[in-house]
Structures are given as C-alpha cells and as structure tokens.
Amino acid sequence: MKATIKPIAILGAVLAMGAASTGVAEERSGEKIYNNYCSTCHQIGAAGAPKLDASSEWQSRLDEKGRDKLYANSINGFKGMPPRGTCGNCS
C-alpha cells in the first residue's frame, strides 16, 4: 500500500490512541483498535467502505475529497459509518 494512503486506511486506529473515557491512558495497538472497530466493514468493503488494502479505493477518495475531509468523516461519521466507527473512547 502506498505510504500516502496507509495513514488514511488506519485512521480509526490513530484516532483511538487517545485517553480512555475514564481519564486513564489505555495501551492499545492500532491493530487491536482496527480489529475491534473498523475491520467489520473495511475488511470486506461492506456498504461501500474502502477495504484496508485497496489502495486505489483510498486514492480515489483522497483525490476527490482530500485528507482533511477523510479525517473529518472518520471523526464525525459518513453515510453508514458511525462517528469514530463506534469507538466511544477514541479521540
């Protein structure tokens, strides 16, 4: 996967690296966060979600919307994707 696309593909994991809702920092790997919150849709492309390893799907979104808009969609939700992919304690 292209280096410019990979950060978008794992954005849910990056967003989740914040503190837990209890205020205590929780150690979580990006892989674990992706597996718990993102993989259900992004592994198979459910409801039009771009697949994690499909660089062309991510690149077309980057070209059309730009990185900032993709970040905002991940945080605020987009179409069938809930805000932060249902990760309530992701920052």
- Residue 28's CATH number: 1.10.760.10
Would residue 1 count as lying in a domain?
no
pLDDT tens per residue, range 33-83: 999 999 999 999 999 999 999 999 999 999 999 999 999 999 999 999 999
DSSP 82: P
Q: Is residue 91 part of a domain?
A: no
The residues, any chain, with a CB within 8 Å of residue 19's CB and separated by 6 or more, are 25, 26, 89, 91
Enclosing domain of residue 70: 6-85
pTM above 0.75, yes or no: no
Provide the domain count of the chain.
Answer: 1
Report d(CA 61, CA 56) in Å as an integer: 9
